């Protein structure tokens, strides 16, 4: 199965499995996952809509979007990681 099929929501959610109680910038996620910013932004919006992630704007300077798992998202992140592991992508 191509890795591209797992881009986006599942990949971003699995990334946060090790980031419990940690705020991460959009830039950091993009750099570590090697995702395009528009793909990442869409995935984050989907995960915020289902309340797996929450976002806080740090006014800076420079202004930064800080993303963090919610309590609900913690369990989902572990499941996402396991799915990627079973698919041989971790």
What confidence tens digit (pLDDT) does each residue in 18-70 have? 898 899 999 999 999 999 999 999 999 999 999 999 999 999 889 999 999 99
Please name the CATH architecture into which domain 3-86 falls. Orthogonal Bundle (1.10)
The pLDDT of residue 4 is above 70: no
Q: What is the pTM of this model?
A: 0.84
Instruction: Map residue 1 onto helix, strand or coil.
Output: coil
Residue 51 and residue 68 in contact, taking contact as beta carbons nearer than 8 Å: no
| 52 Cβ contact partners less than 8 Å away, ≥ 6 residues apart | 13, 69, 70, 72, 73, 76, 77
């Amino acid at each position: 199965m191509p890795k591209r099929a797992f881009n986006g929501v599942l990949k971003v959610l699995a990334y946060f499995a090790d980031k419990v109680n940690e705020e991460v910038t959009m830039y950091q996620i993009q750099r570590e996952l090697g995702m395009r910013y528009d793909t990442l932004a869409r995935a984050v919006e989907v995960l915020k809509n289902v309340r797996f992630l929450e976002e806080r704007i740090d006014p800076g300077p420079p202004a930064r979007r800080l993303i963090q798992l919610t309590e609900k998202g913690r369990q989902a992140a572990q499941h996402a990681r396991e799915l990627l592991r079973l698919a041989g992508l971790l």
